[in-house]
């Protein structure tokens, strides 16, 4: 369990990398990584990866991510492979990635310069690709945490970047990028059906390599993550609505990095709700009285959402994607409720991949089956630390399921 002591500068919200935070056990490692740069130039192997900022949109910072050495860097930016690893190891991965920032307009993606075209080609690569980087100045060790994306390591302004080798590109990605008449949503769905992980899809979208040619843009990373998760889950849900209803109530669970998840699948028409709360005493919620816990939620009924899930934010779409993938795989339709309880152990925002992979892990296990919703809820109540009456008070889907009238009632 992570020590509750906080960074004296950022109070746990943004770890500064100066060695004050107890979680930054790899600070010396990060300093070593930066010191590997001789002058302001280095050669490194990108995972492959590209970061696009959102501040000052449509003028953004675009940054290839790479360590300062050449090695197999695949794991440094592969969230679909991180589940089960300790937070310290994930942070260590991210500390090794240097962001080489360059200011561009998002519209430059449609008609990229030679250098921007190489950055786009870098993201299309199947394996880590060696790149040569020249910086305006030497970076200093730093580490920042974000709600939706994985942590970010040191950064510095980029003077120029070039590929040091020809990247290997999968044919289906090459086809999707080359087809300038193919909508980005259709391109992502084709690649998803071909087995590419969601992280590949949002990187391609972020790099401005998908969609109608003249409309292509660089998409801020935090937006592209939600866009990919939302697009794929919407397509899957459209098909799920034609499947038979689930045969019985099923309950799945998983716990990872201090996050407790319970996923309840209830026979019936498609609907989805995500509820979450911070347990008292955690970094983000210092209230000690459990009765004053604040539970937030977002939901959708059969017709879907018309607006962004602003309460749960990106975590909503991460959880919904994993639920939709599971129901699509088993060819069943159901109402789904995801309970997420965040304990004091989870002191760092590591990104929405934690939610996506935790829910996916839960749904990969054999579920508990119940003959009645009341029995399933009674079981969940015993497992959650937060008083269950608070969950029920906020849940729109539970209220609907327990009070809706059926034809059999008349």
Q: 92-113: per-residue pLDDT in tens?
A: 999 899 999 999 999 999 999 9
pTM over 0.85: yes
Res 409: pLDDT? 38
What mean pLDDT comes out for the span 359-385? 97
Q: Where are the domains of the chain?
A: 27-163, 171-240, 244-409
Q: At 133, phi and psi to the nearest 5?
A: -125, 135
Distances (CA, A) of 337 to 136, 189, 320: 49, 25, 10
> Is residue 25 predicted with pLDDT exceeding 50?
no
The pLDDT value given to residue 4:
32
Partners of 368 in the β-ladder: 251
Report which DSSP code applies to 107. G
List the strands of the sheet with 59-66, edge to edge.
41-46, 129-135, 155-163, 98-105, 59-66, 50-52
Task: Name the band, by pLDDT with cuts 50, 70 and 90, for residue 139.
Answer: confident
Residue 113 CA to residue 201 CA, distance in Å, equals 23
Report the mean per-residue pLDDT for the chain: 88
What mean pLDDT do residues 160-169 have?
95
What does the pLDDT read at residue 146?
Answer: 77
Two structure tokens written together for 320: 């919904």
Exposed, middle or buried: residue 214 (CB in 10 Å: 0-12, 13-18, 19+)? exposed
- Nearest in space to 397 (alpha carbons), one of 335, 308, 350, 347: 335
Q: What are phi and psi of 103, to 5 degrees?
A: -80, 130
Question: Residue 8: its pLDDT value, please?
Answer: 34
Helical ranges in 125-280 per DSSP H? 171-178, 184-193, 198-206, 221-240
344 pLDDT tier (thresholds 50, 70, 90): confident
- Yes or no: say if 155 and 17 are a contact pair by the CB < 8 Å rule: no
Render pLDDT for 279-297 as a digit per residue (tens, 0 to 9): 887 655 556 665 578 899 9
- Confidence band for 37, pLDDT divided at 50, 70 and 90: confident
Domain 27-163 has CATH 2.40.50: yes
Q: What angle do CA 330, 375, 241 make, to 5 degrees?
A: 30
Give dist(CA 258, CA 109) in Å, integer.
40
* Cα–Cα distance measured from residue 365 to residue 375, given in angstroms and rounded to the nearest whole number: 20
Higher pLDDT, 143 or 358: 358
* Residue in 39, 168, 164, 34 with CA at minimum distance from that of residue 99: 34
User: And the tokens for 116?
Assistant: 């921007």
The residues, ordered by sequence, that sit 6+ positions from 253 with a Cβ below 8 Å of its Cβ are 260, 261, 262, 263, 362, 365, 383
pLDDT digits (tens, 9 = 90+) for 191-247: 999 999 999 999 999 999 999 999 999 999 999 999 999 999 999 999 999 999 999
Query: Cα angle vertex 229, ends 212, 349, to 5°?
Result: 125
């Amino acid at each position: 369990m992570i020590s509750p002591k906080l960074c004296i500068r950022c109070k746990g919200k943004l770890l500064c990398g100066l060695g004050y935070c107890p979680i930054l056990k790899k600070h010396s490692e990060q300093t070593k990584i930066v010191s590997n740069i001789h002058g302001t130039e280095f050669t490194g192997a990108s995972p492959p990866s590209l970061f696009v900022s959102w501040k000052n949109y449509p003028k953004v910072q675009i940054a290839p991510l790479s360590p300062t050495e050449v090695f197999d860097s695949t794991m440094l930016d592969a969230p679909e492979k991180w589940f089960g690893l300790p937070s310290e190891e994930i942070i260590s991965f991210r500390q090794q990635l240097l962001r080489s920032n360059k200011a561009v307009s998002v519209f430059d993606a449609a008609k990229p310069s030679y250098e921007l075209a190489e950055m786009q080609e870098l993201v299309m690569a199947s394996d880590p690709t060696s790149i040569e980087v020249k910086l305006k100045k030497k970076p200093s060790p730093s580490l920042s945490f974000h709600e939706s994306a994985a942590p970010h390591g040191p950064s510095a302004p980029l003077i120029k970047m070039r590929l040091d080798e020809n990247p290997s590109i999968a044919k289906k990605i090459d086809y999707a990028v080359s087809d300038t008449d193919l909508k980005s949503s259709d391109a992502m769905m084709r690649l998803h059906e071909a087995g590419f992980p969601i992280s590949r899809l949002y990187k391609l979208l972020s790099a401005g390599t998908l969609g109608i040619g003249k409309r292509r843009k660089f998409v801020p990373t935090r937006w592209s993550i939600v866009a990919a998760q939302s697009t794929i889950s919407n397509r899957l849900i459209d098909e799920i609505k034609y499947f038979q209803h689930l045969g019985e109530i099923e309950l799945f669970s998983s716990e990872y990095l201090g996050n407790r998840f319970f996923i309840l699948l209830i026979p019936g028409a498609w609907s989805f709700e995500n509820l979450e709360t911070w347990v008292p005493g955690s970094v983000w919620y210092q209230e000690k009285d459990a009765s004053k816990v604040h539970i937030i939620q977002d939901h959708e009924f059969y017709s879907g959402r018309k607006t962004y899930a602003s309460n749960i934010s990106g975590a909503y779409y991460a959880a919904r994607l994993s639920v939709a993938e599971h129901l699509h795989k088993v060819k069943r339709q159901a109402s789904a409720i995801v309970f997420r309880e965040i304990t004091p152990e989870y002191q760092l925002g590591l990104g929405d991949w934690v939610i996506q992979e935790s829910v996916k892990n839960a749904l990969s296990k054999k579920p508990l089956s119940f003959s009645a919703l009341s029995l399933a809820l009674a079981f969940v109540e015993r497992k959650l630390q937060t008083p269950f009456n608070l969950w029920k008070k906020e849940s729109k889907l539970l209220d609907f399921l327990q009070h809706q009238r059926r034809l059999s009632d008349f």
